[in-house]
Amino acid sequence: MANLENQDEDLEALANIGVWGQRDQGILVENVKRDISPSDIEYLRSRCPFIQILNIDATFEHYTSVHFIRAKSGWTIQDLDDGLCTSVGSFMFGGTDNPLIEDPENKDPDLLEEFINAGKGTVIKQAFDTAHEMVEMIKHRWKGGIEIIAGSDLMKWALWVAAEENKLKLIGFEPTEEHKQRRTRLNRLEAQRALTPKPRTHN
């Protein structure tokens, strides 16, 4: 009981410290608003991955209908035959690394409803997986290669990695030394995962 009373006292003391406590006491405080900085914009952009690509050999001589494809990541890929685009869309604040969701197909539906796009990993992983799936879709269709029209840096990099793996020409993105080092680290991690024994399951 004494511990609970101490906790209540600690919370009350915390509430009276700083801006919120001072406002509660009627004390005027400095306005906490500030201008939006370039780093703020960059952070928001990093949370909104997207990509738009075209077939290098596209002629656009005929009307193309749009096909909507559900990627394994849960994202929607818009397929226009000679063009593809996708974005995080409604999953901007979704995804989870929760180990309870490692096998979503065999989990309780009520549990899965607590998460948006459950079992697909973080937004960064979703973006990477989606870019790779896009390259898998068109690697036998677009013989000339891929042109990146627009996209976030993360997805441009992921698409470049996938194009390199499939020996596809890619224009519209010039990797920096940092991008190349990131790919080297990724390859090293994938090699380590391949060598790590999988845990045995007991029936």
Question: Taking 90 as the threshold, does the pLDDT of residue 52 lie above it?
Answer: yes
Band of pLDDT at residue 122, cut at 50, 70 and 90: confident
When pLDDT is averaged across residues 66-87 and rounded to a whole number, the result is: 93
* Residue 160 covered by a domain: yes
Tokens of 9: 């006292």
End-to-end Cα, the chain, rounded Å:
45
Q: How much is the pLDDT for 189?
A: 84
When pLDDT is averaged across residues 49-56 and rounded to a whole number, the result is: 95
Total number of domains constituting the chain: 1
When pLDDT is averaged across residues 100-129 and rounded to a whole number, the result is: 66
Higher pLDDT, 2 or 122: 122
* Residue 8 covered by a domain: no
Higher pLDDT, 172 or 29: 172
* Residue 155 covered by a domain: yes
Higher pLDDT, 63 or 110: 63
Higher pLDDT, 8 or 160: 160
Please report which residue ranges of the chain form alpha helices under DSSP H.
2-15, 18-24, 38-46, 109-112, 123-138, 153-165, 177-195
Range of 69's domain? 47-195
Band of pLDDT at residue 43, cut at 50, 70 and 90: confident
Measured CA to CA, the distance from residue 173 to residue 25 in angstroms comes to 55
* Residue 149 covered by a domain: yes
Residue 93 near residue 116 (C-beta atoms within 8 A): yes
Higher pLDDT, 59 or 115: 59
Q: What is the CA angle 51-146-53, rounded to 5?
A: 25
* Predicted TM-score (pTM) of this structure: 0.67
Question: Taking 90 as the threshold, does the pLDDT of residue 103 lie above it?
Answer: no
Q: How much is the pLDDT for 167?
A: 93
Question: Taking 80 as the threshold, does the pLDDT of residue 120 lie above it?
Answer: no
* Residue 56 covered by a domain: yes
Question: Taking 60 as the threshold, does the pLDDT of residue 115 lie above it?
Answer: no
Question: Taking 70 as the threshold, does the pLDDT of residue 88 lie above it?
Answer: yes
When pLDDT is averaged across residues 157-178 and rounded to a whole number, the result is: 94
Q: How much is the pLDDT for 110?
A: 58
Measured CA to CA, the distance from residue 106 to residue 101 in angstroms comes to 9
* Residue 117 covered by a domain: yes
* Residue 16 covered by a domain: no
Angle between the N-to-C axes of helices 153-165 and 123-138, in degrees from 0 to 180, rounded to the nearest 10: 40
